[in-house]
Structure 1
Amino acid sequence: MADPTRHLHHGSKTPLKPDDLYASPPPWDIGRPQPAFLALAAAGAVRGRVLDVGCGTGEHTLMAAGLGLDATGVDLASRALRAAEAKASDRGRTARFLLHDARQLVDLQESFDTVLDCGLFHIFFDDDRAAYVEGLRSVVPPGGRYFMLGFSDRQPGEWGRVRKLTRDEIAASCADGWRIDSIEPTTIDITTDPDGVRAWLVALTRI
C-alpha cells in the first residue's frame, strides 16, 4: 500500500508547508465524504452548527451544508480552502471556510454543536494534541458532539508522521470534559488502496 503521508515529508523529517500537501491531490482527498461520516449524517447525528476541523477541500463541510446546516471548515492549507470554496460555488452550497490553526480553536470565540475530524487528531503529538483537545472543549458546549476518524493501531506498516491510535490512547486524551459514546473500528477511504486504511470512528459528547 502506498503511504498517504508521503506528502508530509521530503524523505527525511522536514515537514512541508500545509499548501504543499495539496500541490497534487493527496490520497485522503477522495472527492466525496467518508462513508463513516455519511452514515452519521444519515442517522441524524450531524446537527446544529457544524465545525469541520482540518477540512481540506471541504467534503465534510459541504456534506453538512447539504443538510441545511450552518457549516464552517478550518484548515491551514489555503490551496485546499480555495478548492473547497470552488466546490461550494459549483454545488450551490453555502459554507464558510477559514484559514485557521486547529490548535487555536479558542480564538474562534464561537460554539459548535457538532465537530467533525477526519484525519487531523492522529497527526498531533503530545503538546499539540493537548492544545487541540483543549480547544475542542472551548468551542463545544455541553451536549455537543465530536466525531473523529483516525488511523488505528490495527493498520500494518509505517505511515510517516501519522500516529496510529489505540483505544486507550484516545480515551486518555479525551478523559477531561467528554463522555466516550463509542470507539468503533472502521476504515478511511483513500485513492491509493481500494481497501482503505484501518481506522477508529470515535464519538464523544461534551459534558
Structure 2
Amino acid sequence: MPSLDNEDIDRSSTKQSNYSATREEDVIKPISTSSKTISSDDFEKLYEGQPAWDIDQPQPEFVEIADQITGSVLDSGCGTGENALFFAARGCDVTGVDLLSTPIERATQKAADRSLEATFLQLDALKLSELNQKFDNVLDSGLFHVFSDEDRQRYVNELSRVMHPGAKLYLQCFSDKEPTGSGPRRISQEELHRTFDEGWEIESITPCHYLVREENNRQYTSGGPHAYFCVIRKH
C-alpha cells in the first residue's frame, strides 16, 4: 500500500489527498461503493491493524507475470511493500509510494529485514510527477479503484508523466462481477477502455480474484473478491 460504476485469482498505495481500507471490524462496512475518492482517514483506520489486502506475500497475479517485468519498477500505492519487494528480490530497481506514513514505514522495515534494496516514499499518487523520474513498469494493486471519476483521470495523467514510451502498467482492480458490499468501487471493462482510450493500449484484461487475509474472506465472493488484471501499454 492505493473510480466510476460498480465491477476471478483462479490461478493460484501524509495525508495529502485521498486513498488505500480497515481492521476486520471496520472493513465489514463498505469503505466506499460511491463515486467519491476513499479518504486517507479511512485508510489510516485500516492500518491501525492489518488491512484485508496486507497478505504478507505478493498478489499471485503479479507473480504470474513476473518474467515480463525487467528494469525500473514503480509500485503506485505500494502499501507495506510485498509486490515491490518481490520484484526487488528479482533484481529490479524498485520504488514504492503510498499516501500514508504507516505502510511506508512497514515496507522500509521489511526491506531491511530481508536485505533487499528498494526505495519507499510517502507520496500522493495524484502527484507522481514530483518523483521527477520515469519508469519501465508500473504496478497498481488496488489503487485505481479508490478514486472518484475526476481523481481517476488525474491519476492516469500522472501515470503517463512517469512512464517511458512503451512502458507497461500492470493494474489489478475490483471488478463489477463482485457483488456490492465491502471494499471499493467496482470497475467495468467498459470503464477501463474508456479511461485508457487515448495515449494507451490495453493489451489484456483478465478476470481474476484478489487474495485477501483469511479473516476477511467471508466478506467477499468465495475465492476472494472478483477483480480484473490488466496489462496496459503507454504509447
- TM-score normalised to the size of structure 2? 0.80
Equivalences for residues 28-177 of structure 1 within 5 A: 28-41=53-66, 44-160=67-183, 162-177=184-199
Distance in 2 (alpha carbons) for counterparts of 1:70 and 1:146: 16
Q: 1:34-67: per-residue Cα shift (whole Å, max 9, x none)?
A: 00000011xx112110000000000011011001
Distance in 2 (alpha carbons) for counterparts of 1:30 and 1:17: 19
CA RMSD of aligned residues (A): 2.1
The percent of aligned pairs where both chains have the same amino acid is 39
- The residue that corresponds to 2:52 in the other structure is 27
- The residue that corresponds to 1:201 in the other structure is 229
Identify if the C-alpha distance between structure 1 residues 34 and 100 changes in structure 2 by more than 3 Å, giving closer, same or farther: same
Q: Offset of 1:69 from its aligned partner?
A: 0.8
Distance in 2 (alpha carbons) for counterparts of 1:151 and 1:65: 26
Q: 1:108-162: per-residue Cα shift (whole Å, max 9, x none)?
A: 11100000000000011111101100001101111100010000000013235x1
Q: Offset of 1:7 from its aligned partner?
A: 8.4
- TM-score normalised to the size of structure 1? 0.91
Alignment equivalent of 1:185, drawn from 203, 207, 226: 207
Q: Offset of 1:4 from its aligned partner?
A: 4.2
Native 8 Å contact 1:185 1:198 kept in 2: yes
- RCO higher in structure (CA 8 A, sep ≥6): 2
Structure 1 residues without counterparts, runs of 5 or longer: none
Native 8 Å contact 1:3 1:159 kept in 2: no
Identify if the C-alpha distance between structure 1 residues 37 and 168 changes in structure 2 by more than 3 Å, giving closer, same or farther: same
Distance in 2 (alpha carbons) for counterparts of 1:131 and 1:19: 23
Distance in 1 (alpha carbons) for counterparts of 2:142 and 2:120: 18
Identify if the C-alpha distance between structure 1 residues 188 and 77 changes in structure 2 by more than 3 Å, giving closer, same or farther: same
Opposite residue 152 of structure 2, the aligned amino acid is R
Identify if the C-alpha distance between structure 1 residues 200 and 62 changes in structure 2 by more than 3 Å, giving closer, same or farther: same
Native 8 Å contact 1:81 1:98 kept in 2: yes
Distance in 2 (alpha carbons) for counterparts of 1:2 and 1:82: 24
Structure 2 residues without counterparts, runs of 5 or longer: 1-23
Name the count of aligned residue pairs.
Answer: 201
Identify if the C-alpha distance between structure 1 residues 166 and 17 changes in structure 2 by more than 3 Å, giving closer, same or farther: closer
Distance in 1 (alpha carbons) for counterparts of 2:91 and 2:79: 20
Distance in 2 (alpha carbons) for counterparts of 1:153 and 1:17: 22
Q: Offset of 1:19 from its aligned partner?
A: 3.1
Distance in 1 (alpha carbons) for counterparts of 2:137 and 2:88: 13
Q: Which runs of 4+ in 1 moved over 3 A?
A: 1-9
